[in-house]
């Protein structure tokens, strides 16, 4: 096994591009992109402040740097070095940033989960989604990249909102029977999704994208809850990890495919 020489970095961990061609590392306010095979420097970008987040877009064309303290996002193009983009959230702040599946939109969650701003790199327009429950959790794209599920909290109840990823318009909105939703995950075939409660309540709910509850599961009452959830590749089973360190497989069989329309 061969090893390259060491390279200095600070802040977020270095990240590989989805296509495996590049490695990006941040050192204070500088972003260095290297060739993954030769480790030669491909591009060096300078941001206006210390880099806190680095994210590649799904097609490896753009790379995004989050400057959370300044509520600014800077985007660079690997194939067009002269192309740049700067997003300033101003007083709203920026607690979390992420790419959309198409690699042409950037989602910025404001401080205190006031809103999600969806910025288009193509049209330079933006759309607001008010009041997500979490900044880094509870916001998931369907595996086919057509829809986005967002967990919200209204009138002391958990709500799931479904948005289309083409126009970012609301498709469905419905309550879910969790007491304090922690996170959610789509099934591989997009037929349903699973949501679960915080560590204080052991409860797992499987729903269709239209809001129909398929199953509710609780292993035991009055004990610590769910730590992790993972779908099987077929979408027929769930592996549930609990805070009691016991792995609990849950079988969920569905006889029909449900679309979101």
> Assign residue 52 a region: left if phi > 0, alpha if psi is -120 to 50, beta otherwise?
alpha
126-138 b/e (C-beta count within 10 Å ≥ 16 → b): eeebeebbbbeeb
**Residues 28-75: pLDDT tens digits?**
899 999 999 999 999 999 999 999 999 999 999 999 999 999 999 999
Reply yes or no on whether the pLDDT at 246 is more than 60.
no
Q: pLDDT above 70 covers what percent of the chain?
A: 93
Residue 241 has what pLDDT?
Answer: 83
What is d(CA 235, CA 192) in angstroms, rounded to the nearest whole number? Answer: 9
What is d(CA 177, CA 175) in angstroms, rounded to the nearest whole number? Answer: 7
- 250, 252, 253, 258: CA torsion to nearest 10: -160
Closest by CA position to 150, among listed 166, 167, 134, 126:
134
- Report the Cα 52 to chain-centroid distance in Å: 16
Reply yes or no on whether the pLDDT at 209 is more than 90.
yes
**Residues 214-238: pLDDT tens digits?**
989 888 888 788 888 989 888 888 8
Reply yes or no on whether the pLDDT at 136 is more than 50.
yes
Reply yes or no on whether the pLDDT at 79 is more than 60.
yes
């Amino acid at each position: 096994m061969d090893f390259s020489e060491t390279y200095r970095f600070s802040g977020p961990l270095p990240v590989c591009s989805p296509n495996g061609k590049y490695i990006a590392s941040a050192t204070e306010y500088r972003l260095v992109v290297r060739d993954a095979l030769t480790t030669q420097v491909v591009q060096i970008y300078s941001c206006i402040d210390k880099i806190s987040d680095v994210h590649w877009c799904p097609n490896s064309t753009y790379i995004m740097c989050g400057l959370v303290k300044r509520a600014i996002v800077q985007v660079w193009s690997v194939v067009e070095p002269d192309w740049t983009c700067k997003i300033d959230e101003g007083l709203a702040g920026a607690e979390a940033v992420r790419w959309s599946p198409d690699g042409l939109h950037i989602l910025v969650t404001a401080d205190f989960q006031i809103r999600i701003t969806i910025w288009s790199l193509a049209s330079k327009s933006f759309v607001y989604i008010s009041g997500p429950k979490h900044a880094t959790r509870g916001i998931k794209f369907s595996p086919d990249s057509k829809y986005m599920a967002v967990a919200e909290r209204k009138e002391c109840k958990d709500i799931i909102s479904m948005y289309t990823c083409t126009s970012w318009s609301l498709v469905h909105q419905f309550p879910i029977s969790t007491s304090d939703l922690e996170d959610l995950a789509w099934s591989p075939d997009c037929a349903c999704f699973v949501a679960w409660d915080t560590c204080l309540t052991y409860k797992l709910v499987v729903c269709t994208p239209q809001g129909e509850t398929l199953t509710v599961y609780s292993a035991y009452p009055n004990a610590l809850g769910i730590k992790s959830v993972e779908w099987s590749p077929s979408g027929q089973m769930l592996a549930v990890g609990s805070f009691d360190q016991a792995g609990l497989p849950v079988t969920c069989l569905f006889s029909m495919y449900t679309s979101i329309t």
